[in-house]
């Protein structure tokens, strides 16, 4: 099971009652943060999930509304008592920006490991999550992220019983371990069923639509995607600033065959995200406009 909290859902600048776009992913007792705009620690504190279990931060790009909140978040994680390493992922240029921001958060009780990526990489995230990324189209190095949680095949009790295996040994095979019993080698495939579909989500923001992004988001359970503009008349503005209008966002979800679309990263021009939601639903019915603090839970189906 994965819980996702949309800590903030707006772009460019924090405004009264409107936090900048970022998402906090919880799997088990572990946390991964996607983007970290100014003030991120404030709605996070209100959420009550705690800070100590943050193990990774995935940054889409180095614009201030996506990274300026890092010193505050790092301070809160330190204050919570974390001593284990924390990994920050991001596009080229991440190290330079983090080193600058660390000048006001220099003394931390945990090491920070920075991994810069070009797009196309796969990497491990906390809580047995698997991450991957591709390039987005924003005029500066920018990444879109995908997160997957694998599901183990079902354990076939009747097959284990037919092999005469004691119950105490079943968990080893469930974990994919081969074992010896009564002089025989027992492999997991002898007692496990066929592969099962896991859980997946994609986080895409600050980009023009591309075929790469559509392919990347194929068949995700949840697509979290920017909707900077809700008015089709703003398409020239979206093109000039390398963002999307909501109809473009909805088409990505439709063509990717996503299961659900969450709209986020709204322009200060958008006073009521429900307008964007209504427009997107004409193209992709299973759409919701995110609101600050919204929690979405993904479970195996």
Give the catalytic positions in this structure: 65
Six token digits for residue 170:
């079943």
For 192, half-sphere exposure in the C-beta direction (CA atoms, 13 angstrom radius) is 19
How far apart (Å, rounded) are the C-alpha atoms in residues 38 and 288? Answer: 24
Tell me the three state secondary structure of residue 102: helix
Report the residue count for the chain.
301
- The answer to whether 258 touches 285, Cβ cutoff 8 Å, is no
How far apart (Å, rounded) are the C-alpha atoms in residues 100 and 173? Answer: 48
Q: Is 206 annotated as a binding residue?
A: yes
Q: Is 79 annotated as a binding residue?
A: no
Q: Is 243 annotated as a binding residue?
A: no
- The answer to whether 140 touches 153, Cβ cutoff 8 Å, is no
Q: Is 61 annotated as a binding residue?
A: yes
**Which residue from 263, 220, 24 is spatially nearest to 132, judged by alpha carbons?**
220
Q: Is 65 annotated as a binding residue?
A: yes
- The answer to whether 165 touches 172, Cβ cutoff 8 Å, is no
How far apart (Å, rounded) are the C-alpha atoms in residues 126 and 56? Answer: 7
Chain centroid offset of residue 187 CA: 34
How far apart (Å, rounded) are the C-alpha atoms in residues 166 and 135? Answer: 50
Binding site: residue ranges?
Answer: 61, 63, 65-66, 138, 206, 265
Binding site for Zn(2+): residue ranges?
Answer: 61, 63, 65-66, 138, 206, 265
């Amino acid at each position: 099971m994965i819980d996702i909290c949309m800590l903030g859902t707006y772009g460019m600048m924090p405004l009264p009652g409107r936090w900048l776009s970022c998402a906090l992913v919880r799997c088990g007792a572990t946390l991964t943060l996607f983007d970290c705009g100014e003030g991120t620690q404030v709605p996070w504190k209100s959420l009550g999930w705690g800070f100590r279990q943050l193990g990774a931060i995935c940054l889409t790009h180095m614009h201030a509304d996506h990274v300026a909140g890092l010193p505050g978040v790092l301070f809160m994680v330190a204050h919570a008592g974390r001593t284990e390493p924390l990994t920050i992922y991001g596009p080229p240029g991440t190290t330079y920006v983090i080193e600058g921001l660390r000048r006001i958060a220099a003394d931390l009780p945990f090491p920070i490991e920075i991994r810069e990526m070009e797009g196309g990489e796969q990497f491990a995230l906390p809580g047995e999550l698997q991450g991957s990324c591709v390039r987005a189209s924003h005029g500066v190095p920018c990444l879109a992220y995908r997160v997957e949680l694998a599901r183990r095949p079902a354990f076939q009790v009747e097959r284990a019983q037919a092999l005469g295996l004691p119950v105490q040994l079943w968990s080893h095979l469930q974990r994919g371990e081969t074992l010896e019993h009564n002089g025989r080698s027992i492999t997991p495939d002898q007692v496990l069923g066929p592969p099962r579909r896991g859980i997946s989500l994609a986080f895409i923001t600050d980009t023009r639509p591309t075929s790469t992004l559509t392919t990347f988001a194929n068949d995700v359970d949840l697509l979290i995607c920017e909707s900077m503009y809700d008015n089709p008349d703003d398409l020239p503005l979206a093109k000039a600033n390398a963002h999307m209008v909501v109809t473009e966002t909805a088409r990505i979800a439709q063509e990717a065959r996503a299961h659900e679309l969450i709209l986020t990263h709204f322009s200060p021009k958008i006073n009521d995200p429900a307008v964007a939601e209504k427009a997107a639903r004409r193209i992709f019915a299973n759409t919701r406009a995110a609101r600050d603090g919204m929690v979405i839970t993904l479970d195996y189906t």
